[in-house]
Structure 1
């Protein structure tokens, strides 16, 4: 699973999602976080004891996502925007699901439209999510595993209103 969450690794990802999915690796794909040793260290401290966390820029992620040794692990990939999610699905061997969590509140982009309290999207975000779906990958909004899911079609219809 690829999760879009602008906060990257925090309680929902570290505790709830990683345990629910039973992952033993969490890959954060984000150029800015990979270039910042303080942010990388902070993300690693937030990771659960049950999973190794690796922070990668896009270039290194592209290599690792295609390494056959990765198939030996249960992996959660975390990105903080739809563009990085699109990059991951276009460069990874196998992605079944892109899960959207919190996105759009931190970056005060006036072009983003409020879908709900935790999701704001602009036209480029929608285009990236549609491109992911066009590859046959399921795209859903879901904050935590025990909450209902909202499909990409429902998100787009909400955005249009």
Structure 2
């Protein structure tokens, strides 16, 4: 079953590998990314960051539905990671029962349109539209680097007056 959905532009790194996999007893990490699925160097680099007891799979958006449904029906604990809100929105379309998404880091891409939420999270107007849709559908979005931190709730930061 899918135990955690995470948006983090670094995808897999030490914090994810050490703390999140342990907290959720993750057996498998599913990285959803068209860019990475076709990039052997990126896949090799990401494999270096994974714990030895955790399987790592890569899937492009064209096959995300079948992979997610397989993961959801599996007895394995699966964490799904995307590097952006647009890709995670595709994931959530397949998993409408989603009630929580964790956001790690989303660095400033220097586009000039970015809104800084925390020192490590920047969002674009397109991201805000997706976040608003999720909020209206009852999906909580918690910004948290590691499990021991307290969530900063995206709706409170973006939408409270």
TM-score by length of 1: 0.89
Written as runs of structure 1 = structure 2, the 5 A alignment for 1:1-161 is 1-67=4-70, 70-92=73-95, 94-105=97-108, 107-157=109-159
1:60, distance to aligned residue in structure 2 (A): 1.9
CA–CA separation in structure 2 for the residues paired with 1:2 and 1:152: 15
Change (3 A) 1:134 1:78: same
Q: Structure 1 unaligned segments of length 5 or more: list them.
A: none
TM-score by length of 2: 0.89
1:150, distance to aligned residue in structure 2 (A): 1.2
- Structure 1 vs Structure 2 CA RMSD: 1.9
CA–CA separation in structure 2 for the residues paired with 1:13 and 1:72: 21
Q: How many residues align?
A: 158
Q: Structure 2 unaligned segments of length 5 or more: list them.
A: none
